Structure 1
């Protein structure tokens, strides 16, 4: 799958290193844009999905690769990307990361000053949740690149990061030090930071992400991707269609049975209407049979901290944030044509459908265990493609590139990828991370 737009990147040959790569959201985005990538992922099941999808992968701990195997990474990598684990910063978690923001900011300052890694690692162990420190890894990789003989001490040209909105303050701190202080070798970057809504880029889901795009000085001013679709506004929807947050015991499909006209551009903009669940799932594609019947989805999860972005939604609205609990979302369908207001519980979303709500291509080969968690943790590929396009100066991707059924890797290809990623064609080896 490739974008239909002509490719003229600011880099001659972009090559992405995807930290915390998960099941492949950013790598699928890169594939759509014709950009090669290498992902580093700790979770075994996510790696199995990646192998099945045909994605270059190292089954490894990001921190361990930086400390022990950095020189083995391809020296031609020039784009650093990733979304560090968000659990300690997410509003759905206990908030260890949010409480430690000031401490983490101080560690950023010290890293840029060139403080010894051993000293910083020792103090990071005092954080209440070790996952909080993972948000520092992209910066530590950027610094390590300038110290790498294998790379000729060459810094990364472009950095692309995304996380939950609570991490915006850290990305702002990243931006300050990258622009004003520079890496320990003196390399500086031009940086933009903001919180973006994924439905504004055609993803059939409301999901807010703090993003950072940086370009090394001399490569031009970076910019955020321009929205292609209108943002979903719960108040506006409710004003036009009635309150969609109906009692759990008696959901109604009244609003779902009334076609919602495409909104016309406002104030001279030419943005498309946001993509609904129905837009994403109604038509058969690949092995997906299609969901032509109107439906409601009930969820109390995935609000990105905004109560107006959760609750009960119809197939004419985007999904709430897809999380690891997507398999628990309850779907209601009408009992019959003559009683559209009377509903019963229908079939829940399949993993294929859950992936499509994340903008993964149909028939993406979800593998291993905890598939719903893999889906929920992933970067939406269409959103990722917009981030990479903006970072590299490429035209915005067409949504159609994510709607073609994914062709999985052959058994021979999977064995080769696993041999490279785990050290054996058939199983994990001692070099793979231990589950504990």
Structure 2
């Protein structure tokens, strides 16, 4: 176990989206992650890491941790996935109620079609265990795909009964300066003051409103071309995908053809800056559906669309690097959540009021 003083414990730490944000704010964070390539990335980035399954640990293993982060695997709940989590949603909500009653649900979770489905309840298990041990987490911050919002709402009711104030909702990435239209379901719980989600800093993207239109008190959303130097000039990128059957991700959601059609439409309409960089062998144009497809993003481009630092050292095969990026919480969005949720602690630490 790490000897470093821990402020935050990050369940399902991935390549460090939340952790990069926490470190920007001067917070110490330890991430638990099962995927070896993601752990290699974390260590190369200097992020404190425990390689293992969150189910094998508990708050007792991290007695100095004061706050909790959780980004459970989204694949069972993602619209583009096989839907095991969505089909089991009522069952997951039932298991949440059993956890609230301090029942052991491990045997029940083992019956789920996809074992990752039940991992969405691990942050609740940790939070309740910390409460029962007399070391309650001051802040709990969770994020997932929007289809998990009913689970977060159920957890909110449970945590309110345990003395937390809780806020849940959908956050849109472009409203926090992320150059993509990713939506996430977020839960923030607090014990010492009122929980709240961060206020937008940038305008929401709209097909019917120019980038300079909308609320003048907010910054314009960031286009794909502004972030990368190429791509769509009139809108942010769509959600960064984990990968495609053709190899490598589109800068789009895993929904597939509809998102690719949007990219092609923007290109064909002339709202596009060409990528003039040299093309290496791993990013050669592919042929799909009878048309030449030159829309590809490199690992570095995908990382920029997720707002990772340009030097974040993603490790593993190219496919594993894309997976890590596509599954990560964008650091800029994570920073907005942490800054608002932990404002009281950040103010006490720095002596200045957190934004």
TM-score normalised over the length of structure 1: 0.66
Q: Is residue 233 of structure 2 the alignment partner of residue 315 of structure 1? A: yes
What pairs up with 1:297-336 in 2 under 5 angstroms?
Answer: 314-325=232-243, 327-329=248-250
Residue by residue over 1:383-421, the C-alpha shift from the partner in whole angstroms, topping out at 9 and shown as x without a partner, is 00001011112699xxxxxxxxxxxxxxxxxxxxxxxxx
Identify which of 341, 357, 364 aligns with 2:305: 357
Per the TM alignment, residue 123 of structure 1 is displaced from its structure 2 partner at its CA by: 1.5
Q: How far apart, CA to CA, are the structure 2 residues paired with 1:30 and 1:386?
A: 10
Q: Is residue 108 of structure 2 the alignment partner of residue 123 of structure 1? A: yes
Q: Is the 8 A contact 2:12 2:71 kept in 1?
A: yes
TM-score normalised over the length of structure 2: 0.80
Per the TM alignment, residue 97 of structure 1 is displaced from its structure 2 partner at its CA by: 1.0
Q: Is residue 223 of structure 2 the alignment partner of residue 281 of structure 1? A: no
Q: Is residue 27 of structure 2 the alignment partner of residue 35 of structure 1? A: yes
Give the equivalent residue in structure 2 for 1:196.
171
Q: Is residue 75 of structure 2 the alignment partner of residue 71 of structure 1? A: no
Q: Is residue 154 of structure 2 the alignment partner of residue 233 of structure 1? A: no
Distance 1:164 1:345, change over 3 A: closer
Per the TM alignment, residue 213 of structure 1 is displaced from its structure 2 partner at its CA by: 0.3
Give the equivalent residue in structure 2 for 1:96.
84
Secondary structure in 2 aligned to 1:71? helix
Q: Is the 8 A contact 1:389 1:395 kept in 2?
A: no
Q: How far apart, CA to CA, are the structure 2 residues paired with 1:394 and 1:384?
A: 17
Per the TM alignment, residue 281 of structure 1 is displaced from its structure 2 partner at its CA by: 1.8
Give the equivalent residue in structure 2 for 1:22.
14
Distance 1:155 1:274, change over 3 A: same
Give the equivalent residue in structure 2 for 1:211.
186
Give the equivalent residue in structure 1 for 2:339.
389
Contiguous gaps of at least 5 residues in structure 2: 252-262, 268-272, 277-290, 347-355
Give the equivalent residue in structure 2 for 1:263.
212
Per the TM alignment, residue 71 of structure 1 is displaced from its structure 2 partner at its CA by: 2.9
Identify which of 146, 163, 168 aligns with 1:165: 146
What pairs up with 1:54-69 in 2 under 5 angstroms?
Answer: 54-66=46-58
In the comparison of the two structures, how many residue pairs are matched?
Answer: 304
Q: How far apart, CA to CA, are the structure 2 residues paired with 1:264 and 1:321?
A: 23
Rg (Cα) greater in structure? 1
Contiguous gaps of at least 5 residues in structure 1: 1-12, 183-187, 241-261, 283-290, 296-313, 337-342, 397-436
Give the equivalent residue in structure 1 for 2:287.
none
Residue by residue over 1:195-225, the C-alpha shift from the partner in whole angstroms, topping out at 9 and shown as x without a partner, is 1101100000110000000001xx1111110
Distance 1:101 1:335, change over 3 A: closer
Identify which of 34, 44, 62 aligns with 1:52: 44
